[in-house]
A = this chain, B = another copy of it.
């Protein structure tokens, strides 16, 4: 008899194709579903081309368009045509602009308890709300999964989070995840799967759980897992997909690697201060900050109850004069339901600017606040400048706090507002059956029709660049030294200026790290091969692999950091950048920008399996010990210049071999 297992352990065991599910060991997992969005997807589709794929092995894989939808010039629309043609060619579903944000739409239309979903978006983890194992990864990992490769990652530790009690009035799911961020900060979930359990779950709907699972990304967690229970059955039933339901839960008596308890009844409205989702304080402490903008939307608060609650609060009232109250529906379905319920009328009559369905301001595509004006948003992130305004002051909160503050014109605790106005908490009458409609998603073409599809490649769609192998000896300058928690938003910015170039890597490279050093792209092009030195948690946030590939195009060959965020660390290996970690973090302080570093015999050392790499600082005549933590598979990728050339080598070896192929896990050199 096996010992009782957590739900996360069950999901991993159900998908394990290689390795041992012991924390820290590399494991390989069979992938059931993938999602890609347009800002990362155009590159993924180019990777499928480079991999020579005929048709995806996953079922389903869905390509969403939710990021690049402003269409300030022809580039966005060209991306849409390219992605639609690629979805048709490779056998993916296609969800065009206007259908909404990938995460809630995927949950509504494709979510199935027990499945393993990966996606080239860091908030893919939201799918854990339905009892899926849902993991955000780099785009190339998604491409390889579509090509039939398993997902490889280090087995995380399982962090059991027990929810007790019930949320008080005016406190909602967003406050639960903000509470965890208040306790643990943006690195608190690194290397962990958060598994929620306990009696407090009973009163949290599937969409409430989506809110909590989604922002597990902000804790740095690998995934968040909720059981599939009655709330999940209700959700799937409302979508007309009750047959997708099956109950899932941790075994009685299962042990977690780590444990935590949240008593929901003790929570208060919380807010994340500028400019980190980890800087959380009670709303009461921030009350009175004058606002120029309030925004409701994004995958962090995508549910009907989130919008309907705000609508009920502003109904018959009007937002503060001069304040921009922006409402971003998260899906076409949500917009239809809100319209039917009268909530659209209430929001617009109260002064809302109702925008098209999509990510919009959450990814800096429009809705940039004025310089110096504070903006309060129900979004998941507020990294510096992510709004599109360099000196922005963006706060994060629940819909209740957002609506109360929009009416007041300053940050306000919804309980204080309700008391002052004599308002009872809204009792929402949500429809039992959502306005789900199949016509706006395009199903995959059959294999024969798919093979006849030509990719529609507008002038803005580049091809993947050739990547050269790691040289035998690598010397170069430290071109940049950065601190802790540098996000991929700072490495490869999103926003209305850069995002339209996500399909055009040479042009996108011009934006690399410019939020930290506007001259980096030019200096890098002049310097050639070079090194970046970083502190803790380098590459947190968004999964965009552009943050690995564009510095690489500019000559980055190695990063020396105290630690890395999971997805970015994998992306660096995928694109042939050597990610090294200081054995002694104190060495970080002994390196200065401009120092000349030497890594002699690098290739040989890596090929020999040395985990320890000695870096010589020629400027200071100093030596540092670093480790790489790379699996053999990752090492091969770095040596080959990236995972795509490495994949090509493997395929070539397979094709030229006269012997039957060895099991993939061995052949691919997994440790």
CB-defined contacts of A292 to chain B, threshold 8 Å: 77, 81
Q: How far is the CA of A568 from the CA of B475 in the complex (A)?
A: 61
Contact with B along A350-376 (1 / 0, CB 8 A): 011111110001000111111111000
Task: Assess the B390–A74 pair: CB atoms within 8 A.
Answer: yes
Residue from A335, A353, A389 whose CB has the most chain B CB atoms within 10 Å:
A353
**Which of B348, B495, B497 has a CB less than 8 Å from the CB of A332?**
B348
Q: How many residues of A contact B (CB 8 A)?
A: 61
A442 to B321, CA, bound (A): 8
CA distance A339 to B352 in the complex (A): 14
Chain A, 59-87, CB within 8 A of any chain B CB: 69-74, 76-78, 80-81, 84
Chain B's closest residue to A322 (CB) is B84
- A81 near B373 with CB under 8 A, answer yes
CA distance A335 to B458 in the complex (A): 35
Segment of A119-127, A239-247, A433-441 engaged in the interface with chain B: A433-441
Kindly identify which residue among B72, B336, B356 contacts A353, using a CB–CB cutoff of 8 Å: B356
- Asked if A72 and B371 make an inter-chain contact with CB atoms under 8 angstroms apart, the answer reads no
A353 and B98 within 8 A (CB): yes
Assembled-state Cα–Cα distance A389/B78 (Å)? 11
Cα(A1)–Cα(B292), bound, Å:
60
A198 smallest CB distance to B (angstroms)? 39
* CB–CB B74/A318 < 8 A: no
User: Would A73 and B497 count as touching, CB distance under 8 A?
Assistant: yes
Interface assignment of A482: CB less than 8 Å from any CB of chain B: no
Q: Are A368 and B336 in contact (CB under 8 A)?
A: no
Q: Please tell me if A97 contacts chain B, counting CB pairs below 8 Å.
A: yes
A550 at the interface (CB under 8 A from B): no
Decide if A349 is an interface residue (CB 8 Å cutoff).
Answer: yes
Encode A305-327 as 1/0 by CB contact (under 8 A) with B. Answer: 00000000000001001101000
Say whether A269 faces chain B, with CB atoms less than 8 Å apart. no
CB distance from A323 to the nearest CB of B (A): 9
- Determine how close the nearest CB of chain B comes to the CB of A501; give it in whole angstroms: 14
Cα of A366 to Cα of B389 in the assembled complex, Å: 19
A331-346 CB mask vs B (1 if < 8 Å, else 0) is 0100110011000110
Q: Does A223 touch B at the CB level, under 8 Å?
A: no
A496 close to chain B: CB less than 8 A: yes
Q: Which of B77, B373, B392 contacts A370 (CB 8 A)?
A: B77
Contact A71 B368 (CB under 8 A): yes
Asked if A518 is at the interface (CB within 8 A of a chain B CB), the reply is no
- Answer yes or no: A96 CB below 8 A from chain B CBs: yes
A293 at interface, CB cutoff 8 A: yes
A336-B349, A353-B357 are known contacts. Are A74 and B366 too (CB-CB below 8 A)? no
Min CB gap A69→B, angstroms: 8
**Interface contact A348-B353, CB-CB below 8 Å:** no
Tell me if A388 counts as interface (CB < 8 A to partner B). Answer: yes
Q: Is the CB of A349 within 8 A of B70?
A: no
A459 located at the interface, meaning its Cβ lies under 8 Å from any Cβ of chain B in the complex: yes
Q: Do A73 and B388 have beta carbons less than 8 Å apart?
A: yes
Instruction: Please state if A97 and B339 are interface contacts (CB–CB under 8 Å).
Output: no
Shortest distance from the beta carbon of A318 to any chain B beta carbon, whole Å: 4
A321 to B96, CA, bound (A): 9
**With A and B bound together, what is the CA distance between A73 and B390 in angstroms?**
8
Pick from B71, B339, B439: contact of A366, CB below 8 A. B71
Q: Which residue of B lies closest to A293 (CB)?
A: B77
Are A371 and B98 in touch, CB under 8 angstroms? no
- State whether A72 and B369 are in contact (beta carbons under 8 Å apart), knowing that A339-B348, A353-B356, A440-B351 are contacts in the complex: no
Complexed CA–CA distance, A365 and B72 (Å): 6
Contacts of A293 in B (CB 8 A): 77
A295 to chain B, nearest CB (A): 11
Contacts of A336 in B (CB 8 A): 345, 348-349
Give the shortest distance, in Å, between A450 (CB) and chain B (any CB): 15
- Give the distance in Å from the alpha carbon of A442 to the alpha carbon of B69 in the complex: 31
Listed from nearest, the 10 A-B pairs whose CB atoms lie closest are A72-B496, A98-B353, A77-B370, A74-B389, A318-B439, A74-B371, A71-B368, A78-B370, A70-B366, A339-B345
Q: List 11 A-B contacts (CB under 8 A).
A: A70-B366, A71-B367, A73-B389, A74-B369, A78-B370, A81-B322, A84-B322, A335-B354, A340-B345, A349-B437, A351-B440
11 more A-B contacts (CB under 8 A) besides A81-B370, A336-B349, A356-B356? Answer: A71-B369, A72-B365, A73-B388, A74-B368, A96-B324, A98-B353, A98-B354, A339-B339, A349-B435, A371-B459, A372-B458
